[in-house]
A and B are shown apart, each in its own frame.
Chain A
Amino acid sequence: MAGFLLRRLVNYVVLALVATFLAFTLASVTFDPIGVLEQRKPPPPAATIEAKRKDLHLDQPIPQRFVTWMSGVVRGDFGHTITERPITDELGRRVGVSLRLFLLGITLGIGFGVLLGVVSAIRQYKFSDYFATLFSFVLLSTPVFVLGNLLKIGAQDINDAVGTNVLLFVGETTPNFQGTWFEHLWDRLQHLIVPTLTIALGQIAYYSRYQRSSMLDVLGSDFLRTAQAKGLTRRQALFKHGLRTALIPMATLFAFGFGLLVVGGTFTERIFNWFGMGHWLIEGISTQDTNVTATVTLFVAVCVLFSGWLADVLYAALDPRIRVN
């Protein structure tokens, strides 16, 4: 099993490389940073433009540029942004910002999504089931930017009602905040709540639908009846025997769901002014910055593939039937 997972990991490294190469090539072909420079008024001197071209390695063929960039990446150097700032310095902070938001969002999403799905399945065709269904469909059909803005309004209402700003929804922290580490933590938490909710609500809606149907499959199964015949109460049988089995088909969904969330989180970051990876991608594209675009793509690729790998691990952990060889 360990060997299998290791082989998978090696495959994934190759895939991540291919994905990044494609993004890099596409960005290099379409972006025209020199053109932007030339259109400045007044136009910069030719020597400056030439120096910029050299600096961005635009005089080299694209594969060579990629190799140059990649060999830096391997050494931990992601190159410069178009404005001459080292990417590596900013990368860590931005990854931290994004992961903080996404990991919390998806953890809550999975946790409550599974719970809602299970409750919905057990109480099929009862009020709570209909309510959960309605809740999910409303959320699933609401675009993230609408939901985010609605939550902002709601948060403002709460703040007004309380009389002080409890929920903060601009940025990931108050600029120039001074205080003890605990106050820092509290400040970040205040900023975290609304954006996390924006992500988690959609995730809850999504996972609860799948969990409901996979739980319904298990509800009629013979082994659940056997468990009850042994003397487990219905509730015990459902949670110990039913839920575990119903989670198996969800493993893939959890893992790749995370990969896709990283891509989709762009909106949330924009709405709440979080300077995370999604935010950066949009910035990179608008400033015609190949290195930033390639870096974010690499990050997304790593997330997606790591998630896939995690799915394999989850599968193996949940289902003994595939735990062979």
Chain B
Amino acid sequence: MTSSEILFDSPADPVVEGPVLQVEDLQVSFPSEAGRVHAVRGLSYEVSPGEVLGIVGESGSGKSVSSLAVMGLLPPSARISGSIKFQGRELIGRSDAELSKIRGRRISMVFQDPLSALTPVYTVGDQIAEAILVHRKGSVSKAAAAKRAAELLDLVGIPNAAERAKAFPHEFSGGMRQRAVIAMAIANDPDLIIADEPTTALDVTVQAQVLQLLETAQEVTGAGIVIITHDLGVVAGFADRLMVMYAGRAVETGKVDDIYSQPRMPYTLGLLGSIPRLDVGEKQALVPITGQPPSLTDLPPGCPFAPRCPMVVDACHTAEPPLINVDGSAEHHAACIRTGEIAATDTEGAEAAAEIFGAEVVEAAEIAKVPREERRVVLGLDALVKEYPVNKGVVFKRRVGTVHAVDGITFDIREGETLGLVGESGCGKTTTLMEILGLEKPMGGEISVLGTNVSELDAKRRKAIRRDMSVVFQDPMASLDPRLTIHDVIAEPMQVHGYGKDEINRRVPELMRLVGLRPEQLSRYPGEFSGGQRQRIGIARALALEPKLVVLDEPVSALDVSIQAGVINLLEELKSSLGLAYLFVAHDLSVVRHIADRVAVMYLGKIVEIGDVDSVFEAPRHPYTQALLSAIPIPDPAKERQRERILLTGDLPSPANPPSGCRFRTRCFLHASLPPEKQRTCIELEPPREVQALDHEAACHFAQIRQVL
């Protein structure tokens, strides 16, 4: 058998007509201390050959559980009923041995976190080869499988595939590992690929690459694809049909265009309205879906979304609404008794959501009306440098190189202003933050806070100046001490700075109200709060000392979209009412576009483009900014299909050994298209930051506007 036959063999069984996967009234429940958790409650769907079905929902909506049920990978404690038919054959009730013949052969799966999805102790090549060998024992030799593994790695775009197949997972970046997992998934030419949040943990540029790869995988294998995500943007351009899940059930299904343009269930509306849009210039009202998904142990009768629904009426509480046809289409279903009324409104999509959910655009602060030049500089960085030594040797350490983590960056933030700092992971964003928060004398350059140069500070003044600056961290689970009550968490900064007891007891409840939480909950512990609420607590703590500047390190990236919208709105309100300045570090450019006034794009320790957010997003000058922007999916299927993606090749080069001249040139599409003499300029000369327009600078020798939205 030749290697190409392995990939594109004709299936032994005749191709069954009809859908590849047919799920009928699927129910999954788990035992828990609080009672049985009904994670999936009567789910039905089907996937046709070659079709892409997107499953969308918040965490806990049952989307992953239902797919694991298809794979037969649920823990033994799960109770499953209903029917899962794969190519007409029932899967429920089959033994592990029987299912393992189908898993990886006919149905394969791509998981969420590529960092932990591969076994650390075997080479990537071996693990891919194993996927082939386990199904073809005897017919394929080990050597042939290894060769095939290298070919598959090449197919998924790993350069030097034969060489890299011998590498271990830890030697691969996150994006490369996800490629390897996809290579594994397509190794046996499956008929169905289930991708469970395949891009969630990845950078936007890598996300675009992986989505592209999944499309390729589908073309190569002709498989049906189920893509699970919480991000409506990701599936807009990729999926054919969509199923929105809530509390273990489908609440809306239909063609992707129908659902995006005419959502007919308030939850879908809310999801659509909660996404900040990259392609919307004017301030957009973000829809927060208040509350939390219901507990699935003991659901009250009626619509499970009712407690969070703005359109709720008494009738909603009597019975759970079934999926019904809407808009006279047999393909579009929604589970809402008032779907007719939604259809009757004049507005559609996100606008309708804003109207129904009553979301409003947050007013700009008073201070923001003053021209920028006249406002005070809150934070100034001038040619900031931070380097780390690279050491070798165990007993005798010797320096063998330097990581240029931050290599001369300059920007300032003025009163009442938000600067978004964006870039891929590893570009130096976090290092910059840590340098600012450390308030120590930098290795090179200057940091000044409210006009004071931090290298001149003594210990006492440094402490005093810390009051003017606070931070909110990315992970709300890890950034609150689980053994302190909320009161103590919020009071701690004030205690450190010597506030009186009365003052603290007065301010803590005030801060709770400020971030939209109830002061009665102060005696509780962080564990009793949801992610969004914890992030609000983190914000309350940051505001305790009435700072002028709040540094936000990816404050919403760990939150579900619907929760994210609420936190973004809160940040905007606080900024407006308290006149705060934000340094907002994020990798999600849509969020930055929504919240920031100015944006700085970082690449390998340098700022490549900086300026007014509208100017940078609408007329990006630097190829890297253009690539980043084009990688962000827009939740609009029609627009998304027409967009031309700039795909960056490969990963970020090592900051220990950055390319000469322009650091971006190794991945730059513009550089690649230039004649050799112009390319030489990129290789030899480092491009200076030059003014491109009013409040807009970029560092590219051949800067030109390219519209990418």
**Contacts of B395 on A, CB cut-off 8 Å?**
7
Q: Is A244 an interface residue (CB 8 A)?
A: yes
- Expressed in whole angstroms, the Cα–Cα distance for A241 and B123 within the complex equals 12
A223, A231, A235: which contacts B120 (Cβ < 8 A)?
A223
Tell me whether B111 and A231 are in contact (CB under 8 A): no
CB distance from B376 to the nearest CB of A (A): 49
B530 within 8 A of A: no
Q: Enumerate chain B residues within 8 angstroms of A248, measured Cβ to Cβ.
A: 121
User: Of B73, B117, B188, which is within 8 A of A223 by CB?
Assistant: B117
Are A226 and B181 in contact, CB atoms less than 8 angstroms apart?
A: yes
Closest-CB distance, B98 to chain A (whole angstroms): 10
How far apart are the CA atoms of A198 and B102 in the complex, in Å?
48
* Interface flags, B117-133, vs A, CB<8A=1, else 0: 11111110001001100
In the bound complex, what is the Cα–Cα distance between A228 and B105 (angstroms)?
A: 11
| Partner of A231 from B105, B119, B123, B127 at Cβ < 8 Å | B105
- Could you tell me if A226 and B96 are in contact, using CB atoms closer than 8 angstroms? no
Chain A residue total in the interface (Cβ 8 A): 27
Q: Which of B57-110 touch A at CB < 8 Å?
A: 71, 73, 96-97, 100-105, 108-109
With A233-B97, A234-B96, A320-B168 as given contacts, are A227 and B119 in contact (CB-CB < 8 Å)? yes
- The chain B residue with its CB closest to the CB of A227 is B119
Please classify how large the interface on chain B is, using the bins under 10, 10 to 19, 20 to 34, 35 or more: 35 or more
CB distance from A104 to the nearest CB of B (A): 29
B73 x A321 contact (CB < 8 A): no
Cβ–Cβ contact A319 & B120, under 8 A: yes
Residues of A contacting B185 in the complex (Cβ-Cβ under 8 angstroms): 229
Task: Kindly report which residue of chain A lies nearest to residue B100, judged by CB atoms.
Answer: A233
Question: Provided the pairs A321-B120, A321-B170, A325-B392 are in contact, do residues A222 and B111 lie with their beta carbons within 8 angstroms?
Answer: yes
In the bound complex, what is the Cα–Cα distance between A244 and B557 (angstroms)?
A: 34
- Cβ of B100: which chain A residues have Cβ within 8 Å of it? 228, 231-233, 236
Query: Do A230 and B168 touch across chains, with their CB atoms under 8 A apart?
Result: no
Q: Is the CB of A231 within 8 A of B131?
A: yes
Residue numbers in B under 8 Å from A234 (CB-CB)? 96
Q: Which residues of A contact B109 (CB under 8 A)?
A: 229
A234 to B95, CA, bound (A): 11
With contacts A223-B117, A223-B120, A321-B120 taken as known, whether A228 is within 8 angstroms of B73 at the C-beta atoms is yes
CB < 8 Å neighbour of A244 from B73, B101, B121, B168: B121
A231 x B134 contact (CB < 8 A): yes
Q: In the complex, how many angstroms separate the beta carbon of A45 from the nearest chain B beta carbon? A: 57
**Contact call B108/A229, Cβ cutoff below 8 A:** yes
B59–chain A nearest beta-carbon distance, Å: 16
Interface members, chain B 576-599 (any A CB < 8 Å): none
B375 contacts which chain A residues (CB < 8 A)? Answer: none
Nearest-Cβ distance from residue B197 to partner chain A, whole angstroms: 12
CB distance from B206 to the nearest CB of A (A): 18
Q: Mark B239-279, 1 if CB is under 8 A from A, else 0.
A: 00000000000000000000000000000000000000000
What separation, in Å, do the CA atoms of A11 and B324 have in the docked complex? 76
Interface-central residue, B113, B121, B134, by most chain A CB under 10 Å: B121
Residues of A within 8 A of B73 (CB): 225, 228-229
Inter-chain contact B119/A232, CB cutoff 8 Å: no
Contacts of A318 in B (CB 8 A): 121
Q: Which of A4, A7, A245, A325 contacts B119 (CB 8 A)?
A: A245
Q: What is the bound-complex CA distance between A224 and B121, given in angstroms?
A: 12
Q: Is the CB of B170 within 8 A of A320?
A: yes
**A201 and B404 alpha carbons, distance in the complex (Å):** 55
A85 to chain B, nearest CB (A): 42
Minimum CB–CB distance from A14 to chain B (whole Å) comes to 12
A245 proximity list for chain B (CB < 8 A): 119-121
- Would you call A221 an interface residue if the criterion is a C-beta within 8 Å of the partner chain's C-beta atoms? yes
> Which residue on B lies nearest to A219, using beta carbons?
B75
For residue A318, give the distance in angstroms from its CB to the closest CB of chain B. 7
Q: Does B632 contact A (CB under 8 A)?
A: no
Q: Is the CB of A231 within 8 A of B103?
A: yes
CA distance A228 to B127 in the complex (A): 12
Q: Is B216 at the interface (CB under 8 A from chain A)?
A: no
Tell me which residues across on chain B come within 8 A of A228, comparing CB atoms. 71, 73, 100, 103
Point out the residues of chain B lying under 8 angstroms from A241, CB to CB.
119, 122
The complex places the Cα of A229 from the Cα of B102 at a distance, in Å, of 9
Contacts of B96 on A, CB cut-off 8 Å? 233-235
CA distance A231 to B190 in the complex (A): 12
- Of A230, A233, A320, the residue contacting B131 (CB under 8 A) is A230
Flag B353-365 by CB within 8 Å of A: 1 or 0 each.
0000000000000
Interface check B313, CB cutoff 8 A: no
A7 to B109, CA, bound (A): 46
Closest beta carbon of chain A to B138's beta carbon, Å: 15
Identify the closest chain B residue to A318 (Cβ).
B121
Interface assignment of B330: CB less than 8 Å from any CB of chain A: no
Residues on A with C-beta less than 8 A from B102 are 231
Q: Which of B146-186 contact A (CB under 8 A)?
A: 168, 170, 181, 184-185
> Closest residue to A4 on the B side, CB-wise?
B394
A234 to B548, CA, bound (A): 56
User: Once the chains are docked, how many angstroms separate the CA of A151 from the CA of B119?
Assistant: 43
Minimum Cβ distance to chain A for residue B148 (Å): 14
A235: chain B residues within 8 A (beta carbon): 96
Complex Cα spacing A318 to B103, Å? 28
Q: With an 8 A cutoff between CB atoms, is B521 at the interface?
A: no
Please give the distance in Å from B406's CB to the nearest CB on chain A: 26
- Interface check B338, CB cutoff 8 A: no
List CB contacts (< 8 Å) of A48-75 with chain B.
none
Q: Tell me how far the C-beta of B63 lies from the nearest C-beta in chain A, rounded to whole angstroms.
A: 16
- Assess the A226–B130 pair: CB atoms within 8 A: no
| A226 in contact with B117 (CB, 8 Å) | yes
Note all chain A residues with C-beta closer than 8 A to B120. Answer: 223, 245, 319-321
A194-252: which have CB < 8 Å to B?
A: 221-236, 241, 244-245, 248
**Interchain Cβ contacts under 8 Å between A and B, 20 examples:** A221-B116, A222-B116, A222-B117, A225-B117, A226-B119, A226-B184, A228-B71, A229-B103, A229-B104, A230-B104, A230-B127, A231-B100, A231-B103, A231-B134, A233-B96, A241-B122, A318-B121, A319-B121, A320-B123, A320-B170
Q: Known pairs A230-B108, A245-B121, A320-B120. 13 more at Cβ < 8 A?
A: A227-B119, A230-B130, A230-B134, A231-B101, A233-B96, A234-B96, A236-B100, A236-B134, A320-B123, A320-B168, A320-B170, A321-B120, A321-B170
Give 6 nearest A-B pairs by CB, closest first: A231-B104, A230-B104, A222-B116, A230-B131, A229-B109, A320-B168
